[in-house]
Amino acid sequence: MIDTVKSTNDHHYRKQLYALLQVTRAINNNFSSADLFSIYEYILGHQLGLTKFAYCSFDEIWRWPVCVGALHETLSIRPETDLAPFTEMTFLAEQDNPQLQNFDLVVPVQHKNHPLAYLLIGELDVKNLSKERKFDLEFVQTICNIIAVAIENKRLFKENIQQEMFRRELAMAKEVQSMLIPSSLPNDEVVDFAAFYQPQRQVGGDYYDCIRINEEELIFCVADVSGKGISAAILMANFQAYLRAMVAIQPDIEKLVSDLNDKVVQSAKGEKFITLFIAHYNARTRDLTYVNAGHNPPVLHTPHGVEILKLGTTGLGMLEKLFRLESGVVQIPAGSVLVCYTDGLVEQEDDSGSDFGMEHLIEFIEQHADQTSGQLNESLVKHLASFKGDQPYVDDIALLTCRFH
């Protein structure tokens, strides 16, 4: 009798050892998830003799990759609610959940109190479980843990690969975007330009540019795409290409803005829009002709006071045809300073929830109007950092400042 029991135990040990060897080899050889599930199904069905079982695991959503003799019964089960209460192997005889009435046992797999998988087993003679069957069920729990962890590791590895690819794409996008923003700006006896750009993320949707037409004339702009991130950066890259191509053939500001609106409508298809301040400066006449297309109004500080440049139209891409397009013309006295910016500057909040605001910006410019463009930008950025305290930056920030000699 003792020899018979010993022989039976040896058989179970060998069976379980062989099953563990199969799973270990498959994991070490980097078998696919589908192959691992096939081995898992074979062990439970053919080696352990289970006739009804279903295994669900989480991969973005809960799925049932293994289902033997229980397909119909799993259709109405919602693991996130029906199985969530189970944190250890539980017999279901006394459970009152009707969704689980066709099963006898639930085996949960958890990691740091987070469910990875559940195994449901049916057609068990729960009241007359043999010692060998109890032994098998304990082993089932072990196999469940091994398979679930292996599948989770695969998911995390895939996720890490995707994240690394995304990081590389983001770094490339950042490099491309940096190439689109001017590396140098005019700084001569006529004008002194300086700029600052800080995307909230690695890439952003703010843009500035300055394009010389001839020795006396130039066009400059600041723009902001609705939204953030790569999609905003792509639209802004397209916009920059349109702008530079059109300036060469159409320096008239109103016509240029109208044509740019057509291009943005085609590119964005109503999903995004661009706010734009664009200006044409003639150093001989000292006329600044501008259009403000829904953008935060630049602040012009002259020896005679402060002027806010807000004449224009709606943002580009909002309407197929621009509404009431109107340009403004300003005479620029020597010593004037123009500060163009995006909304990330004036909408930045401090620790009390108050935003930086236009009045604060105007006051700051009045106090620092004697500085060079570069010094003014640097002072303003430092002041903003002090103002926001511990609050994060709320948006991309672009500054384009010009002192007119």
CA angle 200, 206, 209 (to 5 degrees): 140
What is the C-alpha to C-alpha distance for residues 26 and 19, in angstroms, rounded to an integer?
11
Query: What backbone phi and psi angles, to 5 degrees, belong to 335?
Result: 90, 5
Nearest to 264 by CA among 308, 217, 298, 313: 313
Mean pLDDT of 78-93: 90
Q: Percent of the chain beyond pLDDT 70?
A: 91
Residue 5 has pLDDT above 50, yes or no: no
pLDDT tens-digit readout, 27-72: 777 888 888 899 899 989 988 889 999 999 988 789 999 999 888 8
Confidence grade of residue 173 (pLDDT, cut at 50, 70, 90): low
* pTM, rounded to two decimals: 0.63
Mean pLDDT of 165-178: 64
pLDDT at position 2: 40
Mean pLDDT of 302-314: 95
Which residues are bridge partners to 217 per DSSP?
A: 282
CA angle 200, 204, 210 (to 5 degrees): 120
pLDDT at position 175: 64
What is the C-alpha to C-alpha distance for residues 386 and 372, in angstroms, rounded to an integer?
21
Confidence grade of residue 202 (pLDDT, cut at 50, 70, 90): low
Confidence grade of residue 249 (pLDDT, cut at 50, 70, 90): confident
pLDDT at position 403: 96
What is the C-alpha to C-alpha distance for residues 202 and 396, in angstroms, rounded to an integer?
10
Which residues are bridge partners to 306 per DSSP?
A: 301
Confidence grade of residue 377 (pLDDT, cut at 50, 70, 90): very high
The encoded tokens of residue 361 equal 């910006």
Residues 6+ apart with CB under 8 A from 25: none
The encoded tokens of residue 114 equal 């987070």
**Adjacency order of strands within the sheet including 105-111:** 61-68, 52-59, 114-122, 105-111, 90-91
What is the C-alpha to C-alpha distance for residues 250 and 242, in angstroms, rounded to an integer?
11
* Number of Cβ atoms within 10 Å of the Cβ of 326: 11
User: What domains lie within the chain, and their CATH numbers?
Assistant: 2-160 (3.30.450.40), 181-404 (3.60.40.10)
Confidence grade of residue 121 (pLDDT, cut at 50, 70, 90): very high
Residue 324 has pLDDT above 80, yes or no: yes
What is the C-alpha to C-alpha distance for residues 206 and 197, in angstroms, rounded to an integer?
8
Lowest-confidence range among 114-128, 227-241, 265-279, 389-403?
227-241
| Mean of pLDDT over the chain | 86
pLDDT at position 98: 83
Query: What backbone phi and psi angles, to 5 degrees, belong to 134?
Result: -60, -40
